[in-house]
């Protein structure tokens, strides 16, 4: 009888564990370039397209969408972005739903995202991160493009991922890392985990200046970065011999050097940002309640990092009806082909540029050694692609 009771108790306990491991919600995310988009309902609205951003400490709603939802009674407020301080409205006591899972009593910061939309290349209704991560254990799987949310009270990790401790600064997790520069010099630092950053690793301005990184990343070029604020900032793009953290290592990696004078990228105690370009090579479980993360290499782990091979930066026109050349780098394939800033790219290899979208165009323009035909104002221009680094 005792044995039967023991078996019965064990069965009940096993069932309890199995039920505990069942996610509260499971839903797909769309990977558009280096950004991950999820569906979110705000105060029982229709589903809206939000960037899932671990670097976001305060949920952001596009001011245009806020007006459509009748959310116009907030108080004026400022918040800090990667590059500086921005202004908007703060609306309290909102109810959000993500994949059917509720997120209660949330403050929402309303501001314009139009500059981000034309830079990233698609509509953005909002940005969310901490408010989900603080309420649920979040499993983000890049192999299946799926996010699962678990109840933190009874979650038990069952995988084989690398355990890392979570430290939070400004609501953003960060970990220790080490960079080996082109001259062999090794420098250690702390790095934000930021799925919303269009970067592999970006080094913050104080870290760049203190360690003289601009002269230690090999050949480099200057590109423009848009953040939550509507001001663009210049960054350097170069390569480092390697970047290592917690037993993972990436060789000959393209990196960014920030020159921002304000905001998170001017943080004096945090050395930089690990962005979506690197994080997409991992399947990660975030457990803020226990201050733990688990990292497993995704299928894309060994794939090379894409590098601009055209010498152009693209963005949409303000009405999103055209693909425009935003910047042309000196001595680049685009420069040699005579392509100029503000040129309207109508097609690439015969396919409509707007239909392809900026994420796909950037992928095409990173194919080192390929030749593409770019149609500008009805004229076909041949461009031989060559990696800028």
Same domain, 38 and 146: yes
Residue 223 confidence (pLDDT): 83
* Residues 147-168: tens digit of each pLDDT: 999 999 999 999 999 999 999 9
Residue 235 confidence (pLDDT): 83
Same domain, 249 and 361: no
Confidence grade of residue 75 (pLDDT, cut at 50, 70, 90): low
In a domain, residue 20? The reply is no
Residue 153 confidence (pLDDT): 95
Same domain, 35 and 100: yes
Residue 5 confidence (pLDDT): 43
In a domain, residue 234? The reply is yes
Confidence grade of residue 78 (pLDDT, cut at 50, 70, 90): low
In a domain, residue 305? The reply is no
Q: Mean of the per-residue pLDDT values for the chain?
A: 91
Same domain, 248 and 330: no
Confidence grade of residue 21 (pLDDT, cut at 50, 70, 90): confident
- Count: domains in the chain: 3
Among residues 150, 180, 213, the one where a domain terminates is 150
In a domain, residue 375? The reply is yes
Same domain, 179 and 121: no
Among residues 100, 125, 150, the one where a domain terminates is 150
Residue 233 confidence (pLDDT): 75
Residue 315 confidence (pLDDT): 96
Residue 191 confidence (pLDDT): 98
Same domain, 244 and 320: no
In a domain, residue 67? The reply is yes
Residue 80 confidence (pLDDT): 53
Same domain, 133 and 211: no
CB of 45 closer than 8 Å to CB of 191: no
In percent, the amount of the chain with pLDDT more than 90 equals 81
- Among the residue ranges 5-14, 123-132, 281-290, 349-358, the one predicted with the least confidence is 5-14
* Residues 263-275: tens digit of each pLDDT: 888 899 999 999 9
Residue 125 confidence (pLDDT): 98
Among residues 150, 179, 211, the one where a domain terminates is 150
Residue 264 confidence (pLDDT): 83
Residue 72 confidence (pLDDT): 67
Confidence grade of residue 87 (pLDDT, cut at 50, 70, 90): low
* Residues 333-355: tens digit of each pLDDT: 999 999 999 999 999 999 999 99
CATH code of the domain in which 319 resides: 2.30.42.10
In a domain, residue 39? The reply is yes
* Residues 263-318: tens digit of each pLDDT: 888 899 999 999 999 999 999 999 999 999 999 999 999 999 999 999 999 999 99
Confidence grade of residue 228 (pLDDT, cut at 50, 70, 90): low
Three-state helix/strand/coil letters over the chain? CHHHHHHHHHHHHHHHHHHHCCCCEEEECEEECCEEEEEEEECCCCCEEEEECCCCCCEEEEHHHHHHCCCCCCEEEEEECCCCEEEEEEEEEEEEEECCEEEEEEEEEEECCHHHHHHHCCCCCEEECHHHHCCCEEEEECCCCEEEEECCCCCCCCCCCEEEECEEECCEEEEEEEEECCCCCEEEEEEEECCCCCCCEEECHHHHHHCCHHHCCCCCEEEEEECCCCCEEEEEEEEEEEEEECCEEEEEEEEEEECCCCCHHHCCCCCEEECHHHHCCEEEEEECCCCEEEEEECCCCCCCCCCCCCCEEEEECCCCCCEEEEEECCCCHHHHCCCCCCCEEEEECCEEHHHHCHHHHHHHCCCCCCEEEEEECCEEEEEECCCCC
Span 235-257, mean pLDDT? 96
Residue 89 confidence (pLDDT): 82
Same domain, 101 and 168: no
CATH code of the domain in which 204 resides: 2.40.70.10
Span 210-226, mean pLDDT? 89
Same domain, 235 and 325: no
In a domain, residue 16? The reply is no
Same domain, 231 and 198: yes
Residue-range definition of the domain harbouring residue 368: 312-384
Confidence grade of residue 77 (pLDDT, cut at 50, 70, 90): low
Same domain, 363 and 255: no
pLDDT at 16 over 50: no
Same domain, 222 and 334: no
Residue 230 confidence (pLDDT): 64
In a domain, residue 269? The reply is yes
């Amino acid at each position: 009888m005792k044995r039967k009771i023991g078996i019965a108790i064990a069965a009940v306990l096993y069932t309890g564990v199995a039920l505990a491991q069942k996610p509260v919600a499971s839903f797909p995310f769309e990977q558009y370039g280096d950004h991950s988009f999820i569906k979110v309902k705000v105060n029982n609205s229709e589903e809206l397209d939000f960037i899932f951003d671990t670097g976001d400490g305060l949920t952001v709603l596009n001011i245009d969408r806020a007006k459509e939802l009748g959310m116009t009674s907030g108080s004026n407020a400022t918040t800090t972005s990667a590059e500086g301080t921005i202004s908007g409205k703060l609306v309290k006591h909102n109810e959000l739903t993500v994949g059917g899972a509720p997120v209660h009593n949330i403050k929402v910061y309303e501001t314009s995202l139009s500059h981000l939309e034309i830079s990233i290349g698609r509509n953005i209704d909002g940005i969310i991160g901490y408010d989900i991560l603080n309420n649920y254990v979040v499993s983000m799987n890049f192999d299946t493009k799926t996010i699962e949310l678990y109840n933190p009270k009874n979650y038990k990790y069952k995988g084989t991922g690398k355990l890392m401790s979570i430290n939070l600064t400004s609501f953003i997790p960060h970990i220790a890392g080490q960079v080996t520069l082109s001259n062999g010099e090794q420098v250690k630092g702390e790095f934000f985990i930021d799925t919303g950053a269009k970067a592999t690793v970006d080094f913050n301005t104080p870290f760049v200046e203190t360690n003289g990184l601009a002269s230690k990343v090999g050949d480099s070029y200057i590109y423009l970065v848009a953040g939550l604020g509507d001001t663009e900032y210049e960054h350097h793009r170069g390569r480092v011999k390697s970047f290592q953290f917690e037993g993972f290592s990436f060789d000959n990696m393209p990196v960014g050097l920030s020159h921002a004078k304000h905001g998170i990228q001017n943080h004096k105690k945090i050395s930089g940002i690990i962005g979506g370009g690197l994080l997409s090579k991992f399947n990660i479980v975030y457990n803020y309640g226990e201050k733990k993360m688990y990292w497993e290499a995704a299928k894309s782990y060994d794939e090379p990092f894409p590098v601009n091979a055209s010498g152009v930066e693209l963005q949409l026109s303000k009405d999103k009806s055209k693909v425009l050349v935003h910047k042309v780098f000196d001595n680049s394939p685009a420069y040699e082909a005579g392509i100029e800033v503000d040129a309207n790219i109508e097609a690439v290899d015969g396919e409509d540029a707007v239909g392809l979208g900026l994420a796909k165009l950037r992928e095409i323009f990173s194919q080192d050694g390929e030749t593409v035909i770019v149609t500008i104002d009805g004229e076909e221009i041949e461009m031989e692609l060559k990696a800028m680094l």
